[in-house]
């Protein structure tokens, strides 16, 4: 099988630290299992703004388009200058340019890791290209504008096409899991836009008679997740609701440092932690790299299926398992989980466990 190209974009603040940690593990997996992968690196974020005046230059988007997969570190999007001064959000630019319309965000309780929810195992499937995110839901210009200094308006976009394709991803995911799908909307108030999402999602779900499908309003879902997170399997929803609910779900089962995610389309996929660039702990070897490590495992699983590579699928399973095994030991955790290991030391533990598992 020809080698696959992975583009690595370390991002800002803790981004380079956790990306280096994840890559240590990936390189070990490549050595142990013989993965058909080559890596290229490119600068984005503040480093790129300083050097080129753009947080994500066109050349990086082109490189991502021609890569087989992307590993994206978190970016300090809030700290960038305005868009017309180069401060484009790299994550949203890549999601749109590569048509990464599905953001898959699993949340599961991890054996031994203290968490509010101890029996939770769900996946939030979040629409990734439209909805309330007015900075990226227009063909040209932005859907957020100010007619006067004291009035700000934002346009929300929901289309039948995007609703159907995200619903299909969620249905397929639920079919591989416990066959339970929850459609989440605010269709009681946003009757046209969320009504459209719900209509299309229901129509796609009807093609899967084996699935148990329900509809939950987003505010109720915020409560249900606290009260009975174990009741849910796959949740599908629009962009911003998915973003917020997935942070809530991540916190319930151990925190943002564990929250991996995959942005996937029909032809491209990008590993990206759910959390941001954590400026408060940057440069201190304190960040938990697990979220990005789990995200990379998801990317390898996606690539393994797409390219029918048993080696990549095995690497995904082993990286995930090795990380869970290390997390199970309270003495080998990072500080956000009450441990004392630094980012690099934690990655070393996972690397060693991976070698044991692959032997």
Cβ 309 to ligand NAD shortest distance, Å: 27
Cβ 291 to ligand NAD shortest distance, Å: 6
The bridge status of strand 37-41 relative to strand 4-9 is: parallel
Cβ proximity to ligand NAD: between 190 and 290 the closer is: 290
**Structure-token pair, residue 321:** 């398992």
d(CA 128, CA 243): 9
Exposed (0-12), middle (13-18) or buried (19+): which is 121, by Cβ within 10 Å?
middle
Cβ proximity to ligand NAD: between 287 and 303 the closer is: 287
Cβ proximity to ligand NAD: between 126 and 353 the closer is: 126
Three-state DSSP state, 270 = strand
Cβ proximity to ligand NAD: between 99 and 135 the closer is: 135
Tell me the HSE value of 96 on the side-chain side, using a 13 A CA sphere: 16
Sorted by sequence, the CB contacts under 8 Å of residue 184 that are 6+ apart come out as: 215, 216, 217, 218, 221, 235, 236, 237, 241, 242, 245
By beta carbon distance, the residue nearest ligand NAD is: 276
Cβ 17 to ligand NAD shortest distance, Å: 9
Cβ proximity to ligand NAD: between 174 and 250 the closer is: 250
The bridge status of strand 69-72 relative to strand 269-272 is: parallel
Helix axes 343-358, 310-327, angle to 10 degrees: 120
* Residues in contact with ligand NAD by the rule CB under 6 A: 14, 18, 74-79, 91, 256-257, 272, 275-281, 287-288, 291, 336
Cβ proximity to ligand NAD: between 24 and 336 the closer is: 336
Cβ proximity to ligand NAD: between 95 and 314 the closer is: 95
Cβ 256 to ligand NAD shortest distance, Å: 5
**Structure-token pair, residue 203:** 């129509």
User: 182 with 232: CB under 8 angstroms?
Assistant: yes
* Torsion sign, CA atoms 112, 117, 121, 126: negative
Cβ 79 to ligand NAD shortest distance, Å: 5
Cβ 15 to ligand NAD shortest distance, Å: 8
Cβ 76 to ligand NAD shortest distance, Å: 4
User: 71 with 38: CB under 8 angstroms?
Assistant: no
């Amino acid at each position: 099988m020809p080698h696959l190209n992975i583009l690595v974009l370390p991002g800002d603040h803790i981004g380079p630290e956790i990306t280096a940690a994840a890559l240590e593990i990936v390189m070990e997996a490549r050595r142990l299992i013989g993965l058909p992968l080559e890596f290229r690196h490119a600068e984005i974020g503040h480093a790129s703004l300083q050097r080129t005046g753009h947080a994500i230059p066109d050349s990086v988007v082109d490189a991502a388009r021609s890569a087989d997969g992307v590993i994206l570190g978190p970016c300090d999007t809030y700290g960038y200058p305005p868009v017309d001064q180069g401060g484009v959000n790299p994550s949203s630019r890549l999601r749109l340019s590569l048509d990464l319309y599905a953001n898959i965000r699993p949340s599961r309780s991890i054996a031994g890791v203290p968490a509010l929810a101890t029996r939770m195992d769900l996946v939030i499937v979040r629409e990734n290209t439209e909805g309330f995110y007015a900075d990226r839901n227009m063909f040209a210009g932005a859907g957020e504008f100010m007619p006067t200094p004291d009035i700000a308006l934002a346009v929300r976009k929901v289309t039948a096409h995007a609703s159907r394709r995200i619903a299909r991803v969620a249905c397929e995911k639920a079919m591989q899991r416990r066959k339970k799908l929850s459609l989440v909307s605010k269709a009681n108030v946003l009757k046209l836009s969320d009504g459209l999402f719900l209509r299309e999602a229901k129509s796609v779900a009807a093609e899967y008679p084996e699935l148990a499908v329900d509809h939950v309003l987003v505010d109720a879902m915020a409560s249900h997740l606290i009260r009975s997170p174990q009741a849910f399997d796959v949740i599908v929803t629009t962009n911003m609701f998915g973003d917020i609910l997935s942070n809530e779900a991540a916190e319930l089962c151990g925190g943002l440092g564990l929250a991996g995610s995959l942005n996937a389309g029909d032809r491209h996929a990008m590993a990206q932690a759910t959390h941001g660039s954590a400026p408060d702990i940057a440069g201190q070897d304190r960040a938990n790299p697990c979220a990005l490590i789990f995200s990379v495992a998801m990317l390898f699983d996606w690539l393994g299926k797409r390219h029918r590579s048993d080696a990549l699928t095995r690497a995904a399973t082993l990286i995930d398992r090795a990380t869970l095994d290390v997390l199970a030991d309270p003495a080998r955790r990072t500080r956000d989980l009450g441990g004392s290991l630094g980012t690099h030391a934690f990655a070393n533990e996972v690397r060693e466990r991976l070698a044991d598992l692959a032997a």
